[in-house]
Structure 1
Amino acid sequence: MSLDAFQASPLAQLVFVGVAGIVVWHLIGRGRPNTRLVVQIAFFAVMTAILIANGIAPQSFGGYGADEATALLVVAAKLLWWVHLAWAVIGFVRIYLVLDGRPREARLLQDLIVGLVYLGMILSVLAFVFGAPIGTLVATSGVIAIILGLALQNTLGDVFSGIALTLGRPYAIGDWILLSDGTEGRVVESNWRSTHLLTAANNFVVLPNGLLAKLGLTNVSRPDETHWIGLTVRVAPTRMPSIVVDVMRDVLLSCTAIVKEPPPVVALKGLDATALEVELQFRVTSPAQRTPARNEVLDLVYRHCKSAGLLLAMPPASAVAMADLPTEENAMPPQVTPLALIEAISIFSPLTRDEKAALAAATSSRAFREGDVIARQGDMLRSLMMVRAGVIEMRHEDKECGRLAPGDFFGETGLLAGMGEACTLTALTRVTVYEMDQHSFAPLLRDRPTMAEDLAQCLSRRAERVQAGAAQGLPQERSERAFLKAIRTIFRG
């Protein structure tokens, strides 16, 4: 076809613009969806303008005559126009749904409308381009739809359940949900047929929407991600309940894995001759933190109970004679001595029993009131202090980086390496510590030179844990080599 013939033929122009629109649309690529939509709408507008200007009606079928070339050109032009019309409608729909700002409903509506648009386009092409009897096709498709509906009953049930779940919005992508059958996890994908969960065990669970719609569902992520935990502790009734409550409050106060606001609660559940039941109610930042928080709380319950002289009660199902039960009059809880604390501290594990006993004999007791600043950041303590009772806050500049409870220790960097404290230490409750100075520790390092390497390694690991919770890096080098050099320098005499 010559250039003049092409310019005189609106059908040829229409085919050219339609094919060019498809080529440009594919060249743009999937990485720029907005540009693709604009191109679709622009090419459809040009094709519609050509139709209007030349009086061509694509929505009617009037036959094509005997000229096969002209008939083929008409079919191609109308077919391309209907395809671009469908794409333009889909483009408008996508723009509207993106601006609407509801991604889950947008995806559902987009899939529904896109399916309807393509179905309408196919029927329109059959009727207005090829002249097919639509009424007969619709009647035949109804019978086919009934057959397919019976064959795909379960699948269609999942699809409609997915529509109901999407419109009801009981969860969103990223929410942590708990089902009545015990399944729980974070929603990572939701489509027409199924919902995908990533569990705490890092397993991928695919739940059909039909099954999900029938189960009771708890959305743990709403109104926020914090998760409530209730932990029951049974304490032997050897002390007044008010004392037990105070000890359990110190347990929650010293725990770093739980949320402080809203504040945790200590609730008395019951009291009889065998036990005082106490429930510790607290929140964690997310369901994934439940196990670490439980572990820390149970560890602190043991340490604080031992520090306060409380005994844990026997299990309810155990058969114990009443004469064997501890009471306030006959309870003899083990005393927390300096030797017991020294044996619990990892940096003293290389020592023999006699060496630990010698260190314990050289310790002295010291007490702090609530609110006292025990040491400021950068201060160098000349003694190691082991927490006998109470709770101490560790704060690096303006950020809390940990808390100390009975059995913990501090001051080891000043005692052993001559370095300042990484954090400011403040007593949150009344605090009792056992103190050990350099003079009592120096003979051990002189008699056991290899012990300095073990101590340097322990101090380096402890400093790394403190630094991980600090807002900024620590001002001094706290590597294992630096600790070893400082220890040998201080105790070289």
Structure 2
Amino acid sequence: MDQLWFAFPLISGSLLLVADIVLWQWVPTRFQRWKMLGRVLLFVLFSMALLDGGLSPLYQVPADWDAPRHVLGTLLSIAWWLFGARTLTMIALLVMAPKIGGKGHLLQDLLGALIFLVAAVAAAAYVLDLPVKGLLATSGAVAIIVGLALQSTLGDVFSGIVLNASKPFRVDDWIGVDGIEGKVIEIDWRSTHLLTSEGSMVVIPNAVAAKNRITNFSRPDHFHSFTLTVELSSRLRPSLVLDSLNKAIQGCRELLAQPAASAVVVKSGIRVVEYEVTGYVKSRDRRSAVSNQLFDLIHRQLASTETRQDQVRPVNRQSAVLNSVGALRMLSDADRAELQRNMRLSAYAAREVVLAQDVVPEALYIIESGVVSASLLQGDTWVEVGRMGPGELIGESGFVDQTPTLARFCAYTDCMIYRIDRAELEPWLHEHSELIGALAGLQKFRASARAAMLDNKPQAVDPTGFVDWLRKRVTRFQVPRKDAPDKLS
């Protein structure tokens, strides 16, 4: 090298170190990549200056140098290892930044400490010619003593390493650990810092976070759930309350369609029934606003339901039964009064036939109490296809189109059933078609349900394999008894 600035290579190397420090301190962080490129260039020039000055970081400083030059050469050789470690650390962090996150400092610190440790040992071995084996043995003994003294702290450190590697949460995630909820502000060597909703800072040791169940409310990040609990009087019919809750859910536009919101009965008591509404929103910050909006919608829907109930509050037993029938809710008060005058109460014992199959009904049956079983005849066996309870109708086909029933209806338990004879309503039916329309909708729904059930009838599977072969063998060698009947009836 005969360049002017390499005429004094050791002095030039010292100036390059000063330039690196100034560059890294004064250049803004937004030029991170340019700073890295400048550091690599300065490291290359620093290496060229040392080689031009007769120094090699892999060997000791020549012994024939005078004392000032020997000290400067030793310092520059050690600085080469540390300069290289710093440059390698910055390059590694720049490459790993998208994976480990720009705000997670624990892995960066561990990686830098490991690289600098290797550089320090290498400088001691190559430049200072120290006995590395003895140094490592001594440092190992010191490490054991320090480790025992700092066992709790080291547990937090290694737990932090595990948390950073497995990433159950990141900075800015909202999590819950050991009953404490908060936003992750920082993850350092020993602890995780949470900012709670009250504005206070909670410091959780990493060992505690690693041993306890962690709930990350920020993942998945495309939807967030919330739950509302509503307690209502037991006098309100649960089906009407659930209908009002579902209408309130449909009226809230900010609720996600998928996953769908739902309303269920959680607990039923003598005076109070507890309902739970679960919904999902896109942003966690919108949960409170949507919850308040949903509470308001629920209140309005329930108020509307109670108003309708007050308007049609039953005055007698027959009126209460008619109010429980969903298919007859659209009838006017005059029509209901006409039906009440023709209702006759009958008692049925368990297993007693209420209405046979393939018979044209001559009356309309309304179940007041008990359970009625609906069955279809398949071959020689009656197969139950459904059960009916209070507030349900039987025999609507006789009023609509005079077609026979599609099933047989038997009392599954002791039942009280109201009967409305068609003959008594014959003149009235021609003038009031609302009842026929309501019963026609019910008949259509039941016919489609029966057709779907028959279409999905399971097919008999012909047994094959070893079991079928064994069954045939047993049947072949079976000797009939003389006193046995020829055929079972």
- The TM tier, using the shorter chain, reads 0.5 to 0.7
Match of 1:135 in 2: 133
Query: Is the contact between residue 238 and residue 328 of structure 1 (CA under 8 Å) also seen in structure 2?
Result: no
Structure 2 counterpart of 1:153, from 133, 151, 154: 151
Q: Deviation at 1:240? A: 4.8
Describe the shift of the 1:110–1:278 C-alpha distance in structure 2 as closer, same or farther (beyond 3 A). closer
Describe the shift of the 1:302–1:123 C-alpha distance in structure 2 as closer, same or farther (beyond 3 A). same
Structure (1 or 2) with the larger CA radius of gyration? 2
Query: Is the contact between residue 238 and residue 311 of structure 1 (CA under 8 Å) also seen in structure 2?
Result: no
Query: Is the contact between residue 28 and residue 36 of structure 1 (CA under 8 Å) also seen in structure 2?
Result: yes
Q: Deviation at 1:101? A: 3.9
Match of 2:39 in 1: 40
Query: 1:421-436 maps to which residues of 2 (within 5 A)?
Result: none
Query: Is the contact between residue 61 and residue 70 of structure 2 (CA under 8 Å) also seen in structure 1?
Result: no
Match of 2:392 in 1: none
Rounded to whole Å, the distance in 2 between the matches of 1:67 and 1:205 is 59
* SS, match of residue 63 in structure 2: coil
Letter in 2 for 1:90: T
1:243 aligns with 2:240: yes
Describe the shift of the 1:103–1:67 C-alpha distance in structure 2 as closer, same or farther (beyond 3 A). same
* SS, match of residue 120 in structure 2: helix
Q: Deviation at 1:159? A: 0.7
Letter in 1 for 2:276: E
Describe the shift of the 1:311–1:285 C-alpha distance in structure 2 as closer, same or farther (beyond 3 A). farther
Query: Is the contact between residue 83 and residue 121 of structure 1 (CA under 8 Å) also seen in structure 2?
Result: yes
Describe the shift of the 1:254–1:116 C-alpha distance in structure 2 as closer, same or farther (beyond 3 A). same
Query: Is the contact between residue 257 and residue 292 of structure 1 (CA under 8 Å) also seen in structure 2?
Result: no
- Please list the CA deviations of residues 224-270 of structure 1 after superposition, one character each: whole Å capped at 9, or x if unmatched: 26332333434445465433322222222344664454332222446
Query: Is the contact between residue 82 and residue 119 of structure 2 (CA under 8 Å) also seen in structure 1?
Result: yes
Match of 2:88 in 1: 89
- TM-score normalised according to structure 1 size: 0.55
Q: Deviation at 1:64? A: 2.9
Query: Is the contact between residue 105 and residue 167 of structure 1 (CA under 8 Å) also seen in structure 2?
Result: no
Match of 2:225 in 1: 228
* SS, match of residue 45 in structure 1: helix
Q: Deviation at 1:67? A: 1.5
Rounded to whole Å, the distance in 2 between the matches of 1:110 and 1:305 is 57
Query: 1:18-417 maps to which residues of 2 (within 5 A)?
Result: 18-30=17-29, 32-52=31-51, 56-61=55-60, 63-65=62-64, 67-98=66-97, 100-103=98-101, 107-179=105-177, 181-224=178-221, 226-238=223-235, 240-255=237-252, 258-269=255-266, 274=271, 276-309=273-306
Letter in 1 for 2:153: T
Describe the shift of the 1:71–1:275 C-alpha distance in structure 2 as closer, same or farther (beyond 3 A). closer
Describe the shift of the 1:62–1:234 C-alpha distance in structure 2 as closer, same or farther (beyond 3 A). closer
Describe the shift of the 1:230–1:27 C-alpha distance in structure 2 as closer, same or farther (beyond 3 A). closer
Describe the shift of the 1:187–1:8 C-alpha distance in structure 2 as closer, same or farther (beyond 3 A). closer
Letter in 2 for 1:169: K
Describe the shift of the 1:22–1:309 C-alpha distance in structure 2 as closer, same or farther (beyond 3 A). closer
Query: Is the contact between residue 258 and residue 282 of structure 1 (CA under 8 Å) also seen in structure 2?
Result: yes
Query: Is the contact between residue 230 and residue 280 of structure 1 (CA under 8 Å) also seen in structure 2?
Result: yes
Describe the shift of the 1:51–1:198 C-alpha distance in structure 2 as closer, same or farther (beyond 3 A). same
Rounded to whole Å, the distance in 1 between the matches of 2:154 and 2:244 is 58
Query: Is the contact between residue 103 and residue 186 of structure 2 (CA under 8 Å) also seen in structure 1?
Result: no
Q: Deviation at 1:77? A: 2.9
More deviation, 189-198/285-294:
285-294
Letter in 1 for 2:244: V
Rounded to whole Å, the distance in 2 between the matches of 1:111 and 1:259 is 42
| Number of equivalenced pairs | 312
Rounded to whole Å, the distance in 1 between the matches of 2:295 and 2:6 is 86
Describe the shift of the 1:30–1:132 C-alpha distance in structure 2 as closer, same or farther (beyond 3 A). farther
Stretches of structure 2 that go unaligned for 5 or more consecutive residues are 310-318, 324-489
More deviation, 184-193/151-160:
184-193
Letter in 1 for 2:248: V
Describe the shift of the 1:68–1:276 C-alpha distance in structure 2 as closer, same or farther (beyond 3 A). closer
Letter in 2 for 1:133: P
Rounded to whole Å, the distance in 2 between the matches of 1:233 and 1:23 is 65
Query: Is the contact between residue 105 and residue 166 of structure 1 (CA under 8 Å) also seen in structure 2?
Result: no
Describe the shift of the 1:310–1:183 C-alpha distance in structure 2 as closer, same or farther (beyond 3 A). farther
Q: Percent of aligned pairs with the same residue? A: 32
Describe the shift of the 1:253–1:63 C-alpha distance in structure 2 as closer, same or farther (beyond 3 A). same
Rounded to whole Å, the distance in 2 between the matches of 1:311 and 1:274 is 22
Describe the shift of the 1:239–1:109 C-alpha distance in structure 2 as closer, same or farther (beyond 3 A). closer
* SS, match of residue 32 in structure 1: helix
Describe the shift of the 1:283–1:17 C-alpha distance in structure 2 as closer, same or farther (beyond 3 A). closer
Rounded to whole Å, the distance in 2 between the matches of 1:262 and 1:36 is 48
More deviation, 62-71/232-241:
232-241
Q: Deviation at 1:114? A: 1.0
* SS, match of residue 229 in structure 1: strand
Match of 1:390 in 2: none
Letter in 2 for 1:61: Q
Rounded to whole Å, the distance in 2 between the matches of 1:144 and 1:273 is 70
* SS, match of residue 309 in structure 1: helix
Describe the shift of the 1:48–1:240 C-alpha distance in structure 2 as closer, same or farther (beyond 3 A). same
- Please list the CA deviations of residues 28-62 of structure 1 after superposition, one character each: whole Å capped at 9, or x if unmatched: 35453322221211011112234445663221125
Letter in 1 for 2:92: V
- Please list the CA deviations of residues 147-168 of structure 1 after superposition, one character each: whole Å capped at 9, or x if unmatched: 2112211111111001111111
Rounded to whole Å, the distance in 2 between the matches of 1:198 and 1:106 is 16
Query: Is the contact between residue 104 and residue 186 of structure 2 (CA under 8 Å) also seen in structure 1?
Result: no
Letter in 2 for 1:135: K
* SS, match of residue 225 in structure 2: strand
Q: Deviation at 1:82? A: 2.3
Q: Deviation at 1:208? A: 0.9
Query: Is the contact between residue 15 and residue 80 of structure 1 (CA under 8 Å) also seen in structure 2?
Result: no
Stretches of structure 1 that go unaligned for 5 or more consecutive residues are 313-326, 332-493
